[in-house]
Structure 1
Amino acid sequence: MKESTGQTIMIQGEQTGILDADTVLITGNVSVPAGGTLTFLPGTTILTTGFFGINVEGTLLAEGTINSKLVFSVADTSGFYNLYDSRGGWNGINFLSTDQAGDSSIFSHCTFYYGKAFGDSINKMGGALNIRNFSKIRISDCEFKHNKAIFWGGAVFAEESDLKITNTEFSDNFCGTPGPPYGYGGAACFRYSDADLTGCRFYGNSSTGIGGAVSCEYSDVLITTGVFQDNFSGLGGALGYLRSNPDRPVSCNLFTGNSSLFFGGAISCNRANPSFINNTITENHSVSYGGGFYCNDSAAPVLINTILYGNYAPEGQQVYIWDVNSSPSFYYCNVQGDSAAFGGTGGIGFNSPYLYNTDTLPLFSGIYPSPFTLSDNSPCINAGNPDTTGLMLPETDLAGNIRIVGNVIDQGCYENQSGLTATGRVNKELQILCYPNPFRENVTFILPGEYHGNCSINITDMSGKMVFSSSSMKGNSFNWNVVTDKTTGLNPGFYCVSISAGKVNGSALILHVE
């Protein structure tokens, strides 16, 4: 498809055909009739001059290229952050009465900015895309940024839609009001939908209710090889699954840096039973309960080959189970504190299947851009379920590498590529006790009693930057004071501690709080 030419055109009303222009100004609501096709060429910038949108009853084609993207936005963003009026945004692309017999609408290499779902109830969903009862939509290699909805789906809302979204980034999208009805899915909300989310990335999205990035209700959504980072919500800082019994898994995803105000810093399952396969859930935080994972209302999710480590909450740092009727099960997982550390009424009396799990430092590599890959001496290597039949695993891990190296899959979303087995490594790992953890000014590192010689200690942030180093650790304990050791101004967050005692090495994660 050729690129757009260097001209500006203005459109409104019913539109079909190919729009050959560098800039398309939408000066009133646009509609694509049933049986018609509207095509935007690569390199086109589409700007609305007011709160206008595109209503699609036929087919919309917006196919850019990696070097010639399409941009959908509004000409004037003044007032966008006022949730209660339409200023500063545009009314998105709406598939509300789309002809079921029509061809697929395709979006590739598109960027969607400042969509704002505002109006009556049906128009308060999906800041950039509002999709109902239509499945023939394909989205790939796109970006959704700074979109907003009053109710659900800050960027995308899909109801009874089995759309496919591939290799797409969602960042800084938002939905919800401070009071009911709270927002579901800061980036995307799916209801009664069997959608695919493959290779997508979610950064800094938020909602007021559940699912800072994604919420799924009465749905079966395939979520695989994705990154969920720095998202926020009341429940399920990254992902909220509600009232669903899906057949397809949440697999090979990284959940890190997400947070919640109430429950489930990373994930919340409310009367939902999804399978979580080979996910890495680490360094998430809840202000209240369940730093990593939360279950409520008879939820019965299944976790397999998953790492739950280094998350934080005042109660139930890794897992919080609200009620005795919720029964999550765990197989071949690495869970910090084991099931004995589960919080909540259902956690205290936990009696669901908990088989072949471990509680040991994952020994992440700490090497950017993928700090949560497994180091060559990680005990998570070859520690997954030897039988992966029926797990619906992707062919590659999160980094695009072969998913199974050797005969047994690794735990977590990354597969170590060294080809070495984990046999004999655990015995070479130096176990480090860190107390208190989390800490404010002081933290003490204690080694097993047999280590009394000189040891070296290095402390780095999660980007690998050294914040403290010493080779004068004597005996089997060392106290680190961030004030006296001239590390004042240390930012709150996770830090990696590495200690070497002769030929034996160990590492630990510590959390510095204000």
Structure 2
Amino acid sequence: MENKNNGGYLNIFHRLRLLPGMVFTLLFLTSVHGQDTLHVNSNVHILPGEVMEIPAGTVVWFHGYYHFNIEGSLIATGTDSAPILFTAADTTGLWDTHTNTGGWNGLRFSSSDKGTKEAPSLLQNCIFEFSKASKGDFQHGGAISVYGERDILIEDCMFYHNYAYRMGGAVYLNRNNAHIHNSRFAYNTAQNMESEVWAYGGGIATYESRVVISWSEFEFNSATGMGGALNFEKSHPTVYNTVISNNYAPLGGGVGVVRTLSANLFSNNLIIDNTALFFGGGMAFVDGSVIVANTNILNNTSAYGGGLYFNEISSPVFYNSIIRGNKMNMEVPNQVWIFDGVSGPEFYHCNIEGGFEDFYGSGGDDFQGVYLDNIDEDPMFENPESMNFSLAAGSPCIDAGLHDSEQVGIYHYDLAGNDRFSGIRVDIGAFEFQDPFTYYSLVIVAEGQGETHPPAGEHFYKENELVTLSASAHENWMFEHWITPLGSQEEEEIQIEMQSDYSVTAVFLPLTHIPEASGGSFSVYPNPFTNRLVLHSPLFSSGEELVVRVVNLSGETLLHHSVTNQRHGFTLPLDLSHLTSGMYLVVVEGFSETYTYKIVKE
């Protein structure tokens, strides 16, 4: 790289080829800000295999409606303190997407006919402003359009006041898998003056692409068709930790999803204060389905479907999301509008104002989707007036999300950058309450027929918390013992101090007895006993044969008696002095029945 700062030129390109007859001035000036300026007076073509590099702090100044045609690669890496600025000398007529006057004509990435694999392109710490794709040229992607399988990363960039005639006021991706990270999109527009031609995606529009958008902001973007900030068509978008606010479109003020069936995930996002003229202030789905998790959809407005709008067999799935404060016509609360009777959105563990009873539209009146384990409660935000939507202590959304949320694939940091999985289980909403305590799992199992308190299942308790467990047998069953990490415990009520993850089992055994109406029953006393035990029944008749066994908990017989009763009533003393202290069973067989009793030797 050659550097001649003594009034000469600075060559910043590696293997850059200029087209014949192209007027392209590489004149660097020292501006009032001390930045180098690259003046562009014609289109620039980066051929396959070529790499163009632009250093930090450069101002790329277009003196007309010119573009970069990039078949090779572009590396434009600014810094926080020295970004690269792409801008236009004249913005007169920039807003008119039917003409090629005003602004510049964007970066146009395309795949060459040779099918060669190009080096990745990187746009980092760049500012793109006053660019346009008009009706007479590229139409899509005001500042950037990418066609084909190009590796491109857009990171730490800003897009302001860019325009497109059809799709993507700032960026358009066609069959491309770009990653857009930590970037801001504001005041970009997809628009035209033709009522029959819809414009999509004021900020970004994609077609048959697998775009990833993360940690970014979209504000005050607009489209005259669908998707004020974002529009995805036949795509598989992944969008996480992104704020979408104050955008506008007739359909899908914030986000539009059309002709898309995807299992990719929107997670940890805030969609707020967006407006749709007709349908779906927050998000609109038309023959579109994705997965939305831990997203706050708040205070959006539309004529129909202030928060969400569904049509043409749209069945997206929502987990752990807060959908509240959205309105129709700025006045009537309305979170969900289902236009047709065959769209079936699914909602799990969400906080939805009004519940599904307040769903509107044909599909809302006859809801065909799934509505499971949702709540309708004040989420108790910390300070929503100051855009602080963190959960306050005591919020009903804390630890109320889907138990297996990790399997959904939610990004592991919340919208504030805190750990997403910090409590007993995932919270509802974009912000995870940061619980200062450590929790352990207690798994309770009931073996046999009986109940425990707390009930059988998995429970979570704070570290060192003392948990009381109790067991209660069902009719004709008896409690036997607890199996705990500390060994067998025979008391029905025990306590465990939570110092790790534990599992305990309450064991219940069958207990058979003769109902009073059948003509016989036994009593066993004293119980507990020391050495001797008495088995008695006043109802057994003379001549009846009985077999009496004493067995331990392993089923081993320790004492066996076969007797024939000689009189009315029955009494049998048992010498059990040879047994050690513990729990045993007395089993009596007779009268075509078997009776079992639990006894305890002290």
Establish whether TM, by shorter chain, passes 0.5.
yes
Alpha-carbon displacement from aligned partner over 1:366-387 (angstroms, at most 9, x marks no partner): 1676421111222111111111
Q: Give 2:419's aligned residue.
A: 402
* 2:231 aligned residue (203, 215, 236): 215
SS at match of 2:357: helix
Compute the displacement of 1:289 (Å). Answer: 0.2
Alpha-carbon displacement from aligned partner over 1:156-206 (angstroms, at most 9, x marks no partner): 001000111110110000002241211110000000001110111100000
- 1:302 matches 2:317: yes
Compared CA separation, residues 5 and 297, structure 1 to 2 (3 A): farther
Superposition pairs of residues 375-454 of structure 1, within 5 angstroms: 375-419=392-436
Q: TM-score, normalised to structure 1's length?
A: 0.77
Q: Give 2:190's aligned residue.
A: 175
Q: Give 1:33's aligned residue.
A: 47
Output the CA distance in 1 between the equivalents of 2:394 and 2:378: 11
* 2:120 aligned residue (104, 120, 126): 104
Alpha-carbon displacement from aligned partner over 1:293-337 (angstroms, at most 9, x marks no partner): 010000000000000011111477100000011000100000000
Q: Is the 8 A contact 1:20 1:41 kept in 2?
A: no
- 1:93 matches 2:103: no
Compared CA separation, residues 4 and 403, structure 1 to 2 (3 A): farther
| 1:249 alignment partner AA | L
| 1:351 alignment partner AA | Q
- 1:50 matches 2:69: no
Q: Is the 8 A contact 1:8 1:23 kept in 2?
A: no
Of residues 244-253 and 112-121 in structure 1, the stretch that sits farther from structure 2 once superposed is 112-121
Compute the displacement of 1:97 (Å). Answer: 3.5
- 1:352 matches 2:366: no
Output the CA distance in 2 between the equivalents of 1:201 and 1:7: 41
* 2:179 aligned residue (164, 171, 175): 164
Output the CA distance in 2 between the equivalents of 1:241 and 1:5: 51
SS at match of 2:363: helix
Of residues 367-376 and 97-106 in structure 1, the stretch that sits farther from structure 2 once superposed is 367-376
- 1:271 matches 2:287: yes
Output the CA distance in 1 between the equivalents of 2:268 and 2:173: 23
Compared CA separation, residues 283 and 8, structure 1 to 2 (3 A): farther
SS at match of 1:383: coil
Alpha-carbon displacement from aligned partner over 1:392-441 (angstroms, at most 9, x marks no partner): 111200010111221211111111114479x9xxxxxxxxxxxxxxxxxx
Q: Give 2:327's aligned residue.
A: 312
Greater strand percent: which structure? 2
* 1:262 aligned residue (254, 265, 278): 278
Alpha-carbon displacement from aligned partner over 1:94-142 (angstroms, at most 9, x marks no partner): 0134464110111000000011001436x00000001111331111000
Q: Give 1:202's aligned residue.
A: 218
Of residues 221-230 and 93-102 in structure 1, the stretch that sits farther from structure 2 once superposed is 93-102
* 1:343 aligned residue (330, 338, 360): 360
Output the CA distance in 2 between the equivalents of 1:100 and 1:243: 31
- 1:236 matches 2:232: no
SS at match of 1:303: strand
Q: CA RMSD in A?
A: 2.7
Output the CA distance in 1 between the equivalents of 2:387 and 2:278: 29
SS at match of 1:340: helix
SS at match of 1:373: strand
- 1:330 matches 2:344: no
Output the CA distance in 2 between the equivalents of 1:4 and 1:390: 57
SS at match of 1:82: coil
Give 1 or 2 for the bigger CA radius of gyration. 2
Gap regions ≥5 residues in structure 2: 20-25, 29-35, 440-459, 461-602
Output the CA distance in 2 between the equivalents of 1:4 and 1:38: 19
Q: Is the 8 A contact 2:99 2:136 kept in 1?
A: no
Compute the displacement of 1:391 (Å). Answer: 1.1
Superposition pairs of residues 479-490 of structure 1, within 5 angstroms: none
SS at match of 1:88: coil
Compute the displacement of 1:390 (Å). Answer: 2.2
Output the CA distance in 2 between the equivalents of 1:330 and 1:20: 58
Q: Is the 8 A contact 1:10 1:25 kept in 2?
A: no
Output the CA distance in 2 between the equivalents of 1:100 and 1:349: 53
Output the CA distance in 2 between the equivalents of 1:370 and 1:6: 52
Q: Is the 8 A contact 2:229 2:247 kept in 1?
A: yes
Gap regions ≥5 residues in structure 1: 424-514
Instruction: Report the count of equivalent residues.
Output: 420
| 2:320 alignment partner AA | N
SS at match of 1:211: coil
Q: TM-score, normalised to structure 2's length?
A: 0.66
Compared CA separation, residues 368 and 139, structure 1 to 2 (3 A): farther
| 1:195 alignment partner AA | V
Compared CA separation, residues 365 and 384, structure 1 to 2 (3 A): same
Compute the displacement of 1:2 (Å). Answer: 12
Output the CA distance in 2 between the equivalents of 1:2 and 1:344: 66
Of residues 349-358 and 310-319 in structure 1, the stretch that sits farther from structure 2 once superposed is 310-319
Of residues 192-201 and 84-93 in structure 1, the stretch that sits farther from structure 2 once superposed is 84-93
| 1:338 alignment partner AA | G
Q: Give 1:59's aligned residue.
A: 73
Output the CA distance in 2 between the equivalents of 1:367 and 1:356: 25
Compared CA separation, residues 2 and 129, structure 1 to 2 (3 A): farther
- 1:139 matches 2:178: no
Q: Is the 8 A contact 1:135 1:160 kept in 2?
A: no
Compute the displacement of 1:33 (Å). Answer: 0.9
Runs of 4+ deviating beyond 6 Å: 1-13
Compute the displacement of 1:340 (Å). Answer: 0.4
- Identical-residue share of aligned pairs (%): 34
| 1:40 alignment partner AA | I
Compared CA separation, residues 332 and 197, structure 1 to 2 (3 A): same
| 2:50 alignment partner AA | G
Q: Give 2:304's aligned residue.
A: 289
Output the CA distance in 2 between the equivalents of 1:6 and 1:415: 56
| 1:56 alignment partner AA | I
SS at match of 1:247: strand
Output the CA distance in 2 between the equivalents of 1:397 and 1:5: 48
Compared CA separation, residues 5 and 303, structure 1 to 2 (3 A): farther
Q: Is the 8 A contact 2:343 2:368 kept in 1?
A: no
Q: Give 2:542's aligned residue.
A: none
Compute the displacement of 1:15 (Å). Answer: 4.5
| 1:345 alignment partner AA | S
